[in-house]
Amino acid sequence: MSHSLYPLRRQRLQRSTLAVPASNVTMIDKAAESAADVVFLDLEDAVAPPEKAQARKNAVEALNRIDWEARGKTVSVRINGLDTPYMYRDVVDIMEQAGDRVHMLLVPKLGVVADLYMVEALVNQIEQACGLTRRVGIEALIETALGMANVEEIARYAATSDSRLEALHFGVADYAASMRARTVNIGGLNPAYPGDQWHASLSRMIIACRAYGLRALDGPFGDFADPDGYILAAERAAALGFEGKWAIHPSQIEMANTVFSPPEAEVTRAHRIIEELRKAEAAGKGAAALDGKMIDAASEKMAMNVISLAQAIEARGQAPVAAE
């Protein structure tokens, strides 16, 4: 193991991230009662320009009115991009009027480290000026060719500075547009491509996240009338190590929670791995056998990942997923 280690910067249960347009108060209220682990109030793509100011007011009101933590929710706000005239007011109003109620800000279309630095500097100043005690985290969307080209540098900056960055999300829709990729459905597969055309980008992003202690989240799947397609996309992301996926429709929440929760049998096996390795350790051995397979220190690390996730889910009041 290298002497340079970057532990996870902030652990949050984030199997499902529900996107909610802040222009729709009814949808915000329903989101607060949903089973989503994280809700983000969207001020960006889901809100038309004439509605931006009102959506911002709605977000501030919802943050202050709803007890998100009592509902087991982490709440985030997706601000507008740095290339728009809305971003600075999004940050100022959210932080000044609800900075002690919001958990994270989600920054879209992050391209270079300087983009992150700008948002953080603004947040830092507002927290100091207002005497806020909660340290608001930052998530960022990698959804442009520039962002993906700089993803390692962005992740490295977060790990080697006092950055607020906690997580990166893969924004497949804008990424496809940036890459001029031909796609038939947001987040879906193009049958003309031999396999998964998003695999290389997802792999690159999660490597950067895991190397430097950031959570990695998969983005939207546009066809909410295709649950099978959503599940397959989620399973591919989970196989790579992603912690969760967006839900752009309430029907996708349960699917995300299920796919990114370890099955009960997997949790049981993880505990057995730890038990057998402890027995082997007591006998002076570094490895053991379980169900005809060798297990060792690497097995213990994988098992502890499963156990810690199961414990986080249990703390939220949900049992592991039973095997079908």
Q: Using one digit for the tens of pLDDT, what is the confidence trace for 230-277?
A: 999 999 999 999 999 999 999 999 999 999 998 888 888 888 888 878
Mean pLDDT of the chain: 93
3-state secondary structure of 16: strand
**Residue 324 pLDDT:** 44
Task: Show the beta-strand stretches assigned E in the chain.
Answer: 16-21, 38-42, 74-78, 104-107, 137-142, 165-170, 215-218, 244-247, 288-290, 293-295
**Residue 278 pLDDT:** 85
> What mean pLDDT comes out for the span 65-74?
94
CA distance 255 to 8: 26
**Residue 298 pLDDT:** 86
CA distance 126 to 283: 57
**Residue 121 pLDDT:** 97
Per residue in 171-180, pLDDT tens? 999 999 999 9
Confirm whether residue 314 is marked as ligand binding.
Answer: no
The answer to whether the beta carbons of residues 246 and 39 sit under 8 Å apart is no
**Does 321 score more than 60 pLDDT?**
no
How far is residue 136 from each of residues 30, 75, 139, 233, 237, measured CA to CA in Å? 24, 11, 10, 30, 27
| Percent of the chain with pLDDT strictly greater than 70 | 98
Judge residue 155's burial from the number of C-beta atoms within 10 Å of its C-beta, 0-12 exposed, 13-18 middle, 19 or more buried. Answer: buried
Tell me the CATH number for domain 16-261.
3.20.20.60
Confirm whether residue 143 is marked as ligand binding.
Answer: yes
Stretch(es) of the chain classified as CATH 3.20.20.60: 16-261
Q: How many other CB atoms sit within 10 Å of the CB of residue 226?
A: 14
pTM: 0.91
CA distance 279 to 170: 42
Confirm whether residue 78 is marked as ligand binding.
Answer: yes
Does 70 or 184 have the greater pLDDT score? 70
Report the sign of the C-alpha dihedral through residues 11, 12, 16, 19, in that order: negative
Does 296 or 100 have the greater pLDDT score? 100
Judge residue 282's burial from the number of C-beta atoms within 10 Å of its C-beta, 0-12 exposed, 13-18 middle, 19 or more buried. Answer: exposed
